[in-house]
Amino acid sequence: MQAQFHLALPCENIETTRNFYVDILGASKGRQADKWSDINLYNHQLTFTEAGDFNFDFKNYKLGDSILPSFHFGVIIPVEEWGKLYSKLFQSNQEVTTEATFMEDKIGEHLSFFIADPNGYMIEFKSFKNDHEVFSS
């Protein structure tokens, strides 16, 4: 089943947030107003609304030898796109965290890295070795 994902999140500054997703990650703008914006991230809809200061306590968990943020969202992309984006971010001196291969030599093996947006939201970009294993157990 192909489906588009929608996620609505508060942000501190709509223009800074919009610029990060469009200029840094290469997403496109959708509908927008002064205090909110839709972002098309790999054909999934993110809606950001300017909410001013807010605070989330980021708790972590361990997967293998990596400490990962419990609160994050992400997108699964083909390995070629994953490599291009990772290289682009690395070359632009963006802080990419936890670049790793998870579940190596097991069902669900995937490449993954995280990056924080200007609001502190952690975004995971992952690419599965075998696409049919995305939901396999």
Q: Residue 28 sits in which domain range?
A: 6-50
In a domain, 1, yes or no: no
pLDDT of residue 1: 46
- pTM, rounded to two decimals: 0.73
CATH number where 39 lies: 3.10.180.10
Q: How many domains does the chain contain in total?
A: 2
Kind plus residue range of the DSSP H or E element containing 97: strand 96-102
In percent, the amount of the chain with pLDDT more than 70 equals 87
Query: Do 45 and 64 fall into the same domain?
Result: no
128, 77: one domain: yes
Residues 84 and 102 grouped into a single domain: yes
* Percent of the chain whose predicted confidence (pLDDT) is above 90: 36
Say if 36 falls within a structural domain.
yes
Q: Do 23 and 80 belong to one domain?
A: no
Strands in 110-116's sheet, in edge-to-edge order, are 72-76, 122-128, 110-116, 96-102
